[in-house]
Structure 1
Amino acid sequence: MIEMMLHISLILFIVAIAIVLYRIVRGPSMPDRVVAMDTLGVNLISGIAVISILLKTRAFLEVILIIGILAFISTIALSKFIERGVIVEHKRDR
C-alpha cells in the first residue's frame, strides 16, 4: 500500500516539475520565473526523497542537501539581480 502511494506521489512530482518547467520557459515576467525555479528545487528535493525511500537507501540524502543549498542561493542571487541589477556590489571609496 505504501509503495503504491510512493509511486503515485512520484508521478505527481514529475507532473508538477513539467508544469513548473513550462512556467520557467513561458513565464510572463522574471519574478514568476524565479518563483518557478524555487518551486522546481522543492519538487526535485521531494522527488529525490521519494526515490530514496523507494530504493531503501540513504545515499541520496547528500544530493538532497546540495540541491536545497543551491536552490536557496540561486533564488537569493536572482532576486538581488532583479531588484538591483547586480548580484555583488563593490563599494569603492575615492
Structure 2
Amino acid sequence: MTLTTDILLVAAAAFTVASLGGLYRIVRGPTMPDRVIAVNVLGSNVVIVIALLAAAIGEPGALDIALVYALLNFLLSIAISKFTVERGGVL
C-alpha cells in the first residue's frame, strides 16, 4: 500500500469514529430537531467514508453508491422535517 492509500484509510477511520458522537445524539438527543440534524450528519459522514474508501481501493463505481446514498440522505432529512412540522413538533 502506498502512503496515499494509508492516509485515505486513516481519514475514513477518523470519520467513522467521529460518527459515534452523532449516534449518541440520535439516541439521547433532547429534541427532535437535534435528532434530525444528527441523522443528517451521520449520513453525510457515511457518504464521505464511502468516497474515501472508493479512492483508497481504486474503485470508482463505489462513488455512484455514495452519490445515491447522499440523495437518499437528503430526502430522508426532508421527509423527517416535514413529518415533524405536520405533527406540530417544531419548537
1:40 aligns with one of 39, 42, 51: 42
Q: Considering only CA atoms, is the larger Rg found in Structure 1 or Structure 2?
A: 1
Counterpart residue number, 2:9 = 7
TM-score normalised by the chain length of structure 1: 0.84
Distance 1:70 1:20 in 2: 18
Q: Which has the bigger relative contact order, CA under 8 A and spacing at least 6?
A: 2
Structure 2 residue identity aligned to 1:70: L
Structure 1 residue identity aligned to 2:16: I
Counterpart residue number, 2:72 = 70
Q: Is the 8 A contact 2:19 2:45 kept in 1?
A: yes
1:52 aligns with one of 51, 54, 69: 54
TM-score normalised by the chain length of structure 2: 0.86
Q: CA RMSD in A?
A: 1.4
Counterpart residue number, 2:18 = 16
Larger helix fraction of residues? 2
Counterpart residue number, 2:33 = 31
The runs of 5 or more residues in structure 1 that have no matched partner are 87-94
Per the TM alignment, residue 18 of structure 1 is displaced from its structure 2 partner at its CA by 1.5
